[in-house]
């Protein structure tokens, strides 16, 4: 359609200005106007039915007016240039959506399942959780799951953005979309299809690009009122000057095409740049909020630390099977400390956890509780002691003090109000955490708080390591959320970073909630931003993307408004006619688009 309209417009211009064939020229112009103008008119009619006076309405009235005064060249030029501007906009948006299309194409479509010792190739939709799959050299991992046999060098660039190969062996996690470059592994499926990390990436980016930012919504409202305003101005000019051509020119040149697309193009480009770096920003509203953040709150375990603690010390106060029972109960939870205790027990003498079949009750911020042979079992933090009014012996107090002084997190097990087991665990601080906090402070986030359920000694030690001097320890999830709300009531724009289920209330309540990609599904679902590879430095990069996108949007708004103002001044002084004005109008749209595209090349 666009090609036909453009060709006919060129033919008309040649016939009119070079061959002096006015009749043929007007015929070519007329057909070009119909071809390019009918879709515009249909859009205007649809908008009117919805009681919206759109930009297309301005163009439609201007074109009909130009035809009425026999200015066929102007009508053809206006419709073609407006259609060409829409084409450029769509091509730009398609380019920023290309990342999603590429991801969709990269999804594995088949898998090799192990059934009764035989390899069976099946469609990916036929793979269920718990299925065992073989992945050989050159194959893509078709699910998220645990490697139960074999070892391999795996390319996880599609998931983490890191180009270097990762060594994987039994017990490690494998992610859908990863490619085995060397070796062979058996993977037991834990997540399939849309529930995989790969599936979540696609889903989150799609949601993000469908959302609109506050600036974008403002511009939509602006256009809603701007169109009738311009119509009134054009009518008044016609009434006072009796110059129909001038009134129609005003209608055409006042169309703020660049303004309408400025915010969406910037937002999509910004979201696309974030996704390329493993930062999933869920919509334009998030970009707006993230740019305004001045306070950061963050969890400790799994957020500033790796979330993979290891058992360093263990004290058993009764010669019984309490460690085995603790491991059995802890395997029913997904807390990082719990998983570490299970792993420690299973590696200790190559044992596997016993199967006591005991139900547990999770007490948020404290631990778990169960019943065993008529005895009440508690496993959890120091709060277990205060919750049950348990007093320690002198030796137990010295052990606890020594473990905490060493910076270890403590898990305690009590049986009928007696301490039977004390486990000390250590977790490593993520790389680059201290540097990231310093950069965030320099960028305007001057309030930085670490909130943790751990004891104050360990919290202070970690805080000192990462350069933070504001810490709140031994906090329950609801206490974290309440503290966050108090800061918001004081006018602070709060960013919360976490990874666990207990972080979800704060992540949801914050102005912007960020979830580490290795966190729980609940935290990821409730967050506004997901860091796929859990790279802490990407918190700063996410904010840089947000601020750059907002600056880019304001630049586009300035370009659009400035163009309209200059064109109207040109019309008033007779320097600009309808065709030349429309050409400059479309050039401004190109400028806005190319300005937004700069975000895709943003360097970190």
- Give the catalytic positions in this structure: 299
Q: How far apart are CA 544 and CA 476, in angstroms?
A: 32
Q: What are phi and psi of 229, to 5 degrees?
A: -65, -45
For 76, 271, 586, the CA distances from 87, given in Å and listed in that order, are 16, 21, 11
What share of residues in the chain are helix, strand, coil (percent, to 5)? Answer: 55, 20, 25
CA-based max dimension of the chain: 109
Query: Residue written as tokens 């979540």?
Result: 200
* Residue 569 to residues 173, 228, 390, 491, 591, Cα–Cα distance (Å): 64, 20, 83, 43, 20
**Locus of tokens 């109008």:** 585
**CA-only gyration radius of the chain, Å:** 32
Give the torsion sign (CA, 342, 348, 351, 355): negative
User: DSSP string of 226-239?
Assistant: HHHHHHHHHHHHHH
Give the integer Cα–Cα distance in Å for 43 and 49: 10
CA 428 to the chain's CA centroid: 26
Say whether 10 sits in a helix, a strand or coil: helix
Handedness of CA 325, 331, 333, 338 (dihedral sign): positive
Q: Which long-range contacts (CB under 8 A, 24 or more apart) does 464-469 make?
A: 465/429, 465/434, 466/304, 466/429, 466/433, 466/434, 466/437, 467/434, 467/437, 467/438, 468/437
SS (H, E, C) 57-71: HHHHHHHHHHHHCCC
Q: What is the DSSP letter of 300?
A: I
């Amino acid at each position: 359609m666009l090609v036909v309209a453009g060709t006919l417009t060129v033919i008309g211009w040649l016939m009119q200005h070079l061959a002096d064939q006015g009749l043929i020229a007007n015929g070519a112009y007329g057909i070009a106007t119909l071809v390019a103008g009918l879709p515009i008119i249909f859009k205007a009619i649809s908008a009117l039915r919805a009681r919206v006076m759109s930009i297309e309405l301005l163009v439609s009235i201007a074109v009909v007016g130009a035809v009425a005064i026999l200015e066929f060249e102007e009508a053809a030029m206006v419709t073609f240039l407006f259609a060409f501007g829409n084409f450029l906009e769509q091509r730009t948006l398609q380019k920023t959506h290309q990342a999603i299309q590429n991801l969709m194409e990269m999804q594995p479509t088949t898998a090799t399942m192990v059934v009764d010792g035989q390899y069976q190739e099946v469609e990916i939709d036929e793979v269920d959780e718990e299925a065992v799959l073989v992945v050989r050299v050159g194959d893509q991992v078709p699910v998220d799951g645990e490697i139960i046999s074999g070892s391999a060098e795996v390319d996880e660039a599609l998931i983490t953005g890191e180009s270097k190969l990762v060594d994987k062996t039994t017990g490690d996690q494998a992610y859908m979309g990863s490619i085995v470059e060397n070796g062979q592994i058996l993977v037991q499926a834990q997540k399939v299809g849309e529930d995989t990390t790969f599936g979540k990436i696609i889903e989150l980016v799609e949601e993000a690009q469908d959302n609109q930012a506050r600036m974008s919504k403002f511009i939509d409202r602006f256009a809603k009122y701007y169109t009738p305003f311009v119509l009134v101005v054009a009518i008044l000019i016609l009434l006072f000057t009796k110059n129909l051509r001038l009134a129609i020119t005003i209608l055409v040149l006042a169309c703020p095409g660049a303004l309408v697309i400025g915010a969406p193009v910037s937002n999509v480009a910004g979201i696309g740049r974030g996704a390329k770096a493993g930062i999933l920003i869920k919509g334009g509203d998030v970009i707006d909020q993230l740019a305004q953040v001045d306070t950061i709150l963050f969890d400790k375990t799994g957020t500033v630390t790796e979330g993979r603690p290891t058992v360093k010390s263990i004290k058993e106060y009764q010669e019984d099977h309490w460690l085995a029972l603790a491991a059995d109960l802890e395997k029913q939870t997904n807390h990082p400390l719990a998983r570490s205790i299970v792993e420690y027990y299973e590696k200790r003498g190559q044992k596997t956890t016993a199967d006591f079949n005991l139900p547990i009750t999770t007490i948020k911020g404290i631990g778990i509780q169960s019943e065993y042979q008529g005895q009440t079992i508690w496993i959890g933090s120091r709060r277990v002691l205060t919750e049950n009014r348990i007093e320690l012996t002198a030796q137990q107090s010295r052990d606890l003090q020594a473990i905490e002084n060493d910076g270890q997190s403590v898990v305690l097990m009590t049986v009928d109000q007696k301490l039977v087991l004390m486990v000390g665990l250590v977790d490593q601080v993520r790389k680059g955490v201290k540097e990231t906090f310093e950069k965030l402070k320099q960028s305007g986030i001057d309030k930085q708080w670490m909130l943790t359920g751990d004891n104050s000694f360990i919290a202070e030690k970690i805080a000192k390591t990462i350069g933070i001097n504001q810490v709140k320890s031994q906090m329950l999830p609801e206490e974290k959320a309440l503290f966050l709300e108090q800061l918001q009531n004081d006018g602070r724009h709060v960013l919360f970073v976490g990874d666990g289920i207990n972080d979800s209330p704060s992540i949801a309540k914050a102005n912007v909630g960020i979830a580490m990609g290795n966190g729980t599904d609940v935290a990821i679902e409730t967050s506004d931003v997901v860091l796929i590879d859990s790279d802490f430095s990407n918190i700063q990069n996410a904010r840089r993307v947000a601020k750059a996108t907002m600056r880019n949007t304001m630049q586009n708004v300035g370009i659009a408004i400035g163009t309209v103002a200059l064109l109207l001044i040109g019309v008033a002084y007779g320097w600009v006619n309808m065709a030349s004005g429309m050409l400059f109008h479309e050039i401004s749209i190109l400028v806005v688009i190319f300005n937004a595209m700069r975000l895709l090349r943003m360097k970190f």
